[in-house]
Amino acid sequence: MPLGVVAIAMVAVKLFAVAVPVSSDTISINTLLAALGFTLMRLGIAYILAVLVSIPLAVLATASPTMEAMFLPMFDIFQSVPILAFFPVIILIFINVKFFTGAAITILFLSMVWNIVFTLIGGINVIPRDIIAAAHLFGLWGWTYFWKVLLPAMVPQLVTGSILAFAQGWNIIIVAEVLHTYIPHGTAAQDLFGIGSILVSASAHGQSTVFLWALCITIVAIALINFFIWQKLLRYAQRFRFE
């Protein structure tokens, strides 16, 4: 099901992700809201992909002390490499298939994934040993063990990691949508339509009114997502914590 959602969303983004530069001193609220919608779509796709990748990576890294000793340093190295160092290469790859949105989603995914991976690893490591022993005693192994023990234990850390990952995505979205900076001989027409590119364009052209409206809408969107999604998920996740 999640893969189906991702596939549908990626097709939608590819069909409708057009470049709309800010060329006047005024811009309609509807345009700003539409831009916010495209930005949230990219963030959402990148987040879903990050979760789908993070869970198996965290489980793999905590499968045994040997696996943890091998994978944790590797993950730490990947996390420490500056994300934007990959961006020019990523853009060059997606230029060949004329799918610039793919470049934005990929860089957002890379900015999110390690926040979730490391918090999930922490969640798995705090499972009491007697819980693990009891689960194995009652024959819980493999997929059943993952579904009944590991996944519930990861829920609180998954929510915490998701908050950190989404915040990192907001920090990167301005770079992710303003592609022309990283494209050889690029122009502003190659930027993706989104709230991030509008903020950059408005700032570059001295359009203070547009910039302030775009900034206010972004802040309101972040506040609403935090209040209606993350805070509710944090309260829900409390029931999965080990006391």
pLDDT of residue 25: 59
pLDDT digits (tens, 9 = 90+) for 140-161: 888 999 998 899 999 999 999 9
pLDDT digits (tens, 9 = 90+) for 86-142: 888 898 889 888 888 999 999 999 999 999 999 999 999 988 889 888 888 888 888
pLDDT digits (tens, 9 = 90+) for 185-237: 778 888 999 999 999 999 998 999 999 999 999 999 999 999 999 999 999 99
pLDDT of residue 137: 87
pLDDT of residue 22: 44
Domain residue ranges in the chain: 40-240
- What DSSP string runs through the chain? -HHHHHHHHHHHHHHH-------SS---HHHHHHHHHHHHHHHHHHHHHHHHHHHHHHHHHTSSHHHHHHHHHHHHHHHHS-GGGTHHHHHHHHHTTT-HHHHHHHHHHHHHHHHHHHHHHHHHHTS-HHHHHHHHHTT--HHHHIIIIIHHHHHHHHHHHHHHHHHHHHHHHHHHH-GGGGSTT--GGGSPSSHHHHHHHHHHTT-HHHHHHHHHHHHHHHHHHIIIIIHHHHHHHGGG---
pLDDT digits (tens, 9 = 90+) for 51-65: 999 999 999 999 989
pTM: 0.87
Residue 10: pLDDT band (50, 70, 90) is very low
pLDDT digits (tens, 9 = 90+) for 19-43: 444 444 578 899 999 999 999 999 9
Q: Which of 174, 168, 56 shows the shortest CA–CA distance to 112?
A: 168
pLDDT of residue 186: 76
Q: Is the sign of the CA dihedral 34, 37, 38, 39 positive or negative?
A: positive
pLDDT of residue 105: 95
pLDDT of residue 66: 93
Has domain 40-240 been given CATH number 1.10.3720.10? yes
